[in-house]
Structure 1
Amino acid sequence: MAKATGTLRWYERVPHPAILIFCLLIVVWVMTLIIPAGTFDRHEIDGRSAVIPGTFHLIDAASPSFLEIFHVVPLGMVQAASIIIVVLIGGGLFRVLEATGALENMVGTLVKRLGSDHPVPLIWLMTFVFGALGVAVGYENNIALIPIAVLLGRAMGGDRLVGTSIALGGVGIGFATSPINVYTVGVSDQIADLPLFSGAGLRSVLCVGALCLLAHHTSRYMKKLRRDSNATLLRDAEDEGSSLRKPLADYRLNASDYRVLGTFVIGLAIMLYGVFSYGWYIDEISATFLAIAIVAGLMARLPASKINTYFFEGAASVTTGALLVGLARGLQVLLEQGQIGDTIVHTLAEPLGHMPVLVSTLAMTLVHSVINFFIPSGSGQAMATMPIMIPLSDLIGMTRQTAILAFQVGDGLTNLIVPTSGGTLAMLAMARVPYDVWVRFFFPMLLQAFLLSWVILAIAVAIDWGPA
């Protein structure tokens, strides 16, 4: 039900995410005027550039002019082009799949068999399924599955946030706490000279615990919606579409559905094989999505003209979210122009050496959380910060394994809300959930995940957690 303008709650008056990100551009520009430019010397570790501890020094660098606030927007669009393209093609792919009816029939049949009267067990099951994908497959690699979870959430009687929480939350939490994350744990183990993916036991405890918190958080929201549909955090226009169009009893899979779904599964399998065997990334994923859309349309015996129409309808539906990715990338461009990233890392890391070990450990998660706004890449942040944090942990009596977990928590969990995370914005675009609504929904869950992480880190400090 639409709300009258005079009855809007304060958070419903929050400006459009594009306005919020542009305001952040102004804030970052002011920071480039206040914070002195500086840099670390760097060397290569396994072909990647890493900082050399103790080499930080200030440099002479001109601060970006006010006009750069506007210039970095198209520059950000160019740098984020691959992510923008995968969002547009992904939107087109799922419009074609929707047009075939296969996705709706699959979700309707699944919910019919498992029952929609008690959605909580299904929420828990699917949260752990998507969490496992985040643990083993990665983050952006799962973008194609987001709309399926959105449709599933709607089929259970929820809104777009339910499915987004299951998919984006599950993949994000799984990726953030994964004991086998090659981008964070793998790179950090290499820098710290530890056995690859060592310490998996305690990390697995954190991963399972955080996914349980997420499933509980989503289930509580779902129960609230089932009691009162007006409890949704989404406005009417934001939650339209992606609903089942007939009673659950009428859903069944036919031969065409199996052909289309088989095409989709085979396409994903080829994509994952390419990712793990040949190092495929966003561009190759986009190409795979495009091929799946065409072949799936043909398998459903759609005319070429219809496939074309549906594809571009889908791409148009995610345009706003895709462009937000490029706008947010402008923040990183502006930071690079001001050359203040290393200064921020040095300033945040230096006080940690003067704190007790437990306090320093917990503070390290917060330091990495702040740094993650400026360096949202997991491997990029590892290469920029772990050469500093590992020797620092040796000096203050913190084990290297604990320092890596503190980095993993601070970097990974905040990926789910920082506006500079292109993967997160891309998946929100696919789900058609506004960024500000997602942050409002997910932030309480983020606090719970941090509290759990701090308990695990306190245990790590107490047992002097080593590399086993």
Structure 2
Amino acid sequence: MSDSPNAVNTKKKWYRKVPPVFVLLMIMLFIAAILTYIIPAGSFDRVPLADTGREMVVAGSYHTTEQTPVGFLDIFTAIPQGFAASASIIAMILFSAGAFQVMTESGTIENVLGVLLNKISARRNSGTIVIWIVTFVFSIIGIFIGPEVHVPFVVVTVAVALGMGYDLIVGMAMLLGGSIGFATAPINASLIGTCDTISGLPLFSGMGLRTIFWFCSTVMACLIITHYANKVKANPEKSFVYGIDTTGLGFTTAFSDCKITKRHVGVLLCLAGIFGFTVVGCIKWGWYLDEMTAVFIVGGIIAGFVAGFNVEKITDCFVKGATNLVFGAMCVGVARGIQVILENGHIADTIINAISEPLIGLPPVIGAILMTLVHGVINFFIPSGSGQAVATMPIMFPIGDLVGLTKQTSILAFQIGSAVTDIIYPTIGSLMAICALARVPFEKWFKFAIRLVAGVYLVGWIFLAIAVAINWGPF
């Protein structure tokens, strides 16, 4: 019988055969190398994009080149090359984790959250309120800064989720509201700004419709997370991560026993300062990963002194925090190595050209929807918003013209298709780091996150249809 104990055990054993994250990334490295022998090498001509330091693809310039397959040793040299290319991301992850460890060991995070949750927990539907607030907060933050900055905060959202009777996936999902915010942002510099520059559109034009799109997408994410969370709370065995050890991830003190001291307030102000300077710096001064890392270092040191720690204690906290994320940082470097192989084998442009050509001649709405799927596939191979924009949009804009899409609509299709899939692709280093820190196996996370992607895609397709119907512009 299909519902016999043996059948259930067989299914569980089969599911556990999905390789661990690091092994999965290594397998993908080898697959990428094999593809360099199968897929013809090719390239687009490129020209400098003014004031960005990047190069833009010339539409219609694709041509085949000499085959440059990646050798066996090159597979492994791609790993340190990936680390070198991801140095700024890795440094930001490690030092931000160190700064956050200072705040954690001061007791600030646990006591402040404990007091807040103790007040909220007395209300009806308190768990739902917390999920919506936390998800929206990170979604708003995601409008201004990339998801890499969110990595160390997974310990907070996981602790909140466990404290409210939910599971590890709910904690991850609330944090990755930041990725939804980043993907659907109305004023995202790396996604919208780069595309506007390439197209010649006024910078951040179309903000009104995009703001509504961002809000609806975040609401959809909250509904999906809440639905899953309520199922888990009613029956913990429904959790996709049921049985995984959560020791050390939850609160060590009962909510009712949590108290906020003057030192806790001081450390909390340091955390607010880190967020404030990071957001303002990114928007006003064009900061990126290196500057954000510096803010985390300075903020962490100041927080340590405010907490009453000496220099040795602060140093130990930074080392301990970074140690907790070494595995995640390694995943970032290895994931970037996959892109290195595709670039060295000169097959990335061939892939882009092959999957974009079939869009020509389709009805506008169908063409726009399929364009999102094309960008979703490309995002696996080029997991960088601005990098994908300069590689694909010079091709997609002419295709959009032939299909009957305004450039504004083509950008929306890019926005929907590219960054939303950041929450399900193992080539996204920050996602792998979050999975490692939250102790959530990638395949378990994927099983849940694919619902988020489907939900946001559905919302996005509705807005694409609206954009086509109103001939969204200015052009």
Band the TM-score falls in, shorter-chain normalisation? over 0.9
- Checking the alignment, whether the CA contact within 8 Å between 2:21 and 2:432 is kept in structure 1 is no
Where 1:49 maps in the other structure, the secondary structure is strand
Where 2:455 maps in the other structure, the secondary structure is helix
2:51 is equivalent to residue 79 of structure 1 = no
Structure-2 separation of matches of 1:220 and 1:368: 29
The corresponding residue for 2:141 is 133
The corresponding residue for 1:173 is 180
TM-score, structure 2 as length reference: 0.91
Structure-1 separation of matches of 2:274 and 2:411: 35
Q: Alpha carbons of 1:5 and 1:396: their partners in 2 closer, same or farther (altered >3 Å)?
A: closer
Q: Alpha carbons of 1:9 and 1:205: their partners in 2 closer, same or farther (altered >3 Å)?
A: farther
Greater Cα offset, 392-401 or 378-387: 392-401
The corresponding residue for 1:363 is 370
Structure-2 separation of matches of 1:400 and 1:375: 22
Unaligned 5+ residue runs, structure 1?
A: none
Match of 2:157 among 149, 166, 184: 149
- Checking the alignment, whether the CA contact within 8 Å between 2:89 and 2:148 is kept in structure 1 is no
Greater Cα offset, 402-411 or 302-311: 302-311
Q: Alpha carbons of 1:5 and 1:256: their partners in 2 closer, same or farther (altered >3 Å)?
A: farther
Structure-2 separation of matches of 1:68 and 1:238: 38
Greater Cα offset, 197-206 or 362-371: 197-206
The corresponding residue for 1:38 is 42
The corresponding residue for 1:100 is 106
2:273 is equivalent to residue 250 of structure 1 = no
2:20 is equivalent to residue 16 of structure 1 = yes
Structure 1 residues 69-100: Cα deviation after superposition (integer angstroms, max 9, x where no partner): 22212222222222222222222222222211
Task: Give the CA deviation at 1:431.
Answer: 4.1
Unaligned 5+ residue runs, structure 2?
A: 1-7
Structure-1 separation of matches of 2:174 and 2:225: 7
Match of 1:266 among 269, 273, 280: 273
Moved over 6 A (4+): 4-7
Structure-2 separation of matches of 1:53 and 1:6: 51
The corresponding residue for 1:121 is 129
Match of 1:335 among 337, 342, 357: 342
- Checking the alignment, whether the CA contact within 8 Å between 2:364 and 2:468 is kept in structure 1 is yes
Structure-2 separation of matches of 1:123 and 1:71: 43
Structure-1 separation of matches of 2:143 and 2:37: 40
Q: Alpha carbons of 1:190 and 1:82: their partners in 2 closer, same or farther (altered >3 Å)?
A: closer
Matched-pair identity in %: 39
Task: Give the CA deviation at 1:362.
Answer: 1.1
AA aligned to 1:98 is: T
Q: Equivalences for 1:399-438 in 2 at 5 Å?
A: 399-438=406-445
- Checking the alignment, whether the CA contact within 8 Å between 2:36 and 2:68 is kept in structure 1 is no
Greater Cα offset, 330-339 or 300-309: 300-309
Structure-1 separation of matches of 2:12 and 2:299: 42
Structure-1 separation of matches of 2:381 and 2:44: 16
Task: Give the CA deviation at 1:105.
Answer: 0.6
Cα RMSD, aligned residues only: 2.2
Structure-1 separation of matches of 2:40 and 2:279: 43
2:57 is equivalent to residue 51 of structure 1 = yes
Task: Give the CA deviation at 1:153.
Answer: 1.8
Q: Equivalences for 1:158-307 in 2 at 5 Å?
A: 158-168=166-176, 170-234=177-241, 236-237=243-244, 239-307=246-314
- Checking the alignment, whether the CA contact within 8 Å between 2:100 and 2:321 is kept in structure 1 is yes
- Checking the alignment, whether the CA contact within 8 Å between 1:80 and 1:325 is kept in structure 2 is yes
TM-score, structure 1 as length reference: 0.93
Number of aligned residues: 464
AA aligned to 1:46 is: A
Where 1:415 maps in the other structure, the secondary structure is helix
- Checking the alignment, whether the CA contact within 8 Å between 2:329 and 2:429 is kept in structure 1 is no
Structure-2 separation of matches of 1:429 and 1:215: 23
Match of 2:450 among 443, 463, 466: 443
AA aligned to 1:100 is: S
- Checking the alignment, whether the CA contact within 8 Å between 1:357 and 1:397 is kept in structure 2 is yes
Structure-2 separation of matches of 1:84 and 1:227: 39
